[in-house]
Amino acid sequence: MGRLFGTDGVRGLANQDLTAELALGLSVAAAHVLADAGAFEGHRPVAVVGRDPRASGEFLEAAVVAGLASAGVDVLRVGVLPTPAVAHLTAALGVDLGVMLSASHNPMPDNGIKFLARGGHKLADEMEDAIEAHYDRYGGAGDADWDRPTGAAVGRVRDYTEGFDQYVTHLVGALPNRLDGLKVVVDGAHGAAARVSPEAFARAGAEVVTIGGDPDGLNINDGYGSTHLDELRAAVVEHGADLGVAHDGDADRCLAVDADGEVVDGDQILAILALALREQGVLRRDTVVATVMSNLGFKLALEREGIELVQTAVGDRYVLEAMKAGDYALGGEQSGHVILLDHATTGDGTLTGLLLAARVAAAGRPLAELAAVMQRLPQVLINVPNVDRGRVSSSSELASAVTEAERALGETGRVLLRPSGTEPLVRVMVEAADSDQAQRVAAGLADVVKRTLGN
């Protein structure tokens, strides 16, 4: 069997790749591995289980709950809530394990399982490997030769409806100021934040217009949310709103739209929040963590403002690792996955949107003006398929072409060649002050990649 766990839990087509049997078996395996590691020692173990609204989450939740309870773990079923809400409740309630069922921004037929350790943090890779090895060894829960609890030792299950209010209260409590006087359009992607995000904005004082707020189990991410911004852009202009925010299916991301309907991406949001946090004296070490895919305009803006930038490989897990290692307060990705470690253990789209709106309210300036702190340089990305991605770093001809391209671009441009981690292709990314130059340089480098690394 190939590795089940990817960079963000186990994910696949629900009821084919991700079956009820697999969900149940992994849950039993997780309970056993945590027990063997001493995580449950001296007390009766408890887990929080949440999901996004997609239809398959109903039977997968039942399977996870059954697996945990059969292994002697009590379950608090919190229902439909965002991933960061499950992480927050896992920490706030002091439970041993959190489980979230979601495939984030993926289309409705997909689903996923993410396990969270005590404190609401992502499980360490070694722990995920141990869970997978346990599952492989015993062929799932059904055939496992293990000492099953009976009688009063089986896990008990109850609905924990208080979780919604606790999470919203936590979000509003993180704000440095209220949002009175702002009109905000919230796009919940018909997903996990469809109720939470509008409620949090309203409690914080904003006038709220909600779109993408009617999940039916089938419409998650369908034409709405952070990967489909046209509806939000139109709604902001139509309602004369000050800004709009859009989440993905599990609401760990946030992108924004200004009053003119222009998109404000994750880099711009990070830049705005960096200045706000520094002004409040809570941007530790005056540093922001972001990936190498962040726009060069973001880096130049931070340099101009005297803020340090730590760059990581692509993926929020690498951003989070760097933030923890350096004790930094703010990090994120261009996609809108923003991590504020003083308030959350993972990216939190609703929190990000609230803090962005709070900055607009406190500054008394339009979002477009705040976003102008950085100028997004034209960025061209070309995927070159059917090449030997393993030879990117060893080709002298390719290295010479990159050096020449960087010389031509100067200080206001950059080149990034990134082998795909899952496909036989190389991504060529070029930024430049001029879009025609960016396109021309990217196309030239793509040709060199194709010629030198082609199979």
120, 143, 161 - which closes a domain: 161
Indicate whether 223 and 96 sit together in one domain: no
The answer to whether the annotation marks 248 as part of a ligand binding site is yes
Q: Walk across the sheet containing 287-291 and list its strands.
A: 308-312, 287-291, 330-332, 338-340
104 is catalytic: yes
Q: What is the pLDDT of residues 293-334, one digit of tens each?
A: 899 999 999 999 999 999 998 888 899 999 999 999 999 999
In this predicted structure, what is the pLDDT of residue 455?
67
Indicate whether 76 and 203 sit together in one domain: no
The answer to whether the annotation marks 230 as part of a ligand binding site is no
Supply angle C-alpha 375, 408, 429, rounded to 5: 55
The answer to whether the annotation marks 52 as part of a ligand binding site is no
- Domain holding 137, by residue range, is 10-161
Distance, CA of 322 to CA of 328 (rounded, Å): 8
Distance, CA of 102 to CA of 50 (rounded, Å): 9
Q: Hey, which bits of 119-164 come out as E strands?
A: 121-122, 157-159
Indicate whether 358 and 403 sit together in one domain: no
Indicate whether 115 and 262 sit together in one domain: no
Distance, CA of 101 to CA of 8 (rounded, Å): 11
Distance, CA of 421 to CA of 423 (rounded, Å): 6
Indicate whether 285 and 339 sit together in one domain: yes
> Across-strand partners of 210?
186
Q: Is 2 among the domain residues?
A: no
Q: What is the pLDDT of residues 109-125, one digit of tens each?
A: 999 999 999 999 988 88
Indicate whether 199 and 100 sit together in one domain: no
The residue among 242 and 140 whose pLDDT is bigger is: 242
Indicate whether 32 and 81 sit together in one domain: yes
Choice among 56, 70, 104, 226 that is catalytic: 104
Supply angle C-alpha 444, 448, 452, rounded to 5: 175
Indicate whether 187 and 172 sit together in one domain: yes
- Least confident range from 163-177, 201-215, 272-286, 396-410: namely 396-410
Mean pLDDT across the chain, nearest whole number? 94
Burial code of 316-331, b = ≥16 C-beta within 10 A, e = fewer? bebbbbbbeeeebbbb
Distance, CA of 203 to CA of 235 (rounded, Å): 21
Q: Is 189 among the domain residues?
A: yes
350, 371, 392 - which closes a domain: 371
Indicate whether 279 and 425 sit together in one domain: no
| Of 190, 445, 441, 244, residue with least CA distance to 353 | 244
Q: Is 231 among the domain residues?
A: yes
Indicate whether 136 and 214 sit together in one domain: no
Q: Is 4 among the domain residues?
A: no
| pTM score, whole prediction | 0.92
Indicate whether 194 and 290 sit together in one domain: yes
131, 161, 191 - which closes a domain: 161
Distance, CA of 136 to CA of 124 (rounded, Å): 19
> Could you tell me if residue 67 is left (phi over 0), alpha (psi between -120 and 50 degrees) or otherwise beta?
alpha
Evaluate whether 297 touches 266 at the Cβ level (below 8 Å).
no
In this predicted structure, what is the pLDDT of residue 422?
64
Tokens 């969900």: give the residue.
Answer: 23
Distance, CA of 321 to CA of 291 (rounded, Å): 12
| Of 112, 120, 100, 27, residue with least CA distance to 66 | 27
CATH of the domain at 130: 3.40.120.10
| Of 86, 87, 76, 89, residue with least CA distance to 159 | 76
Indicate whether 154 and 190 sit together in one domain: no
Q: Is 198 among the domain residues?
A: yes
Number of domains in the chain: 3
The answer to whether the annotation marks 394 as part of a ligand binding site is no
CATH of the domain at 408: 3.30.310.50
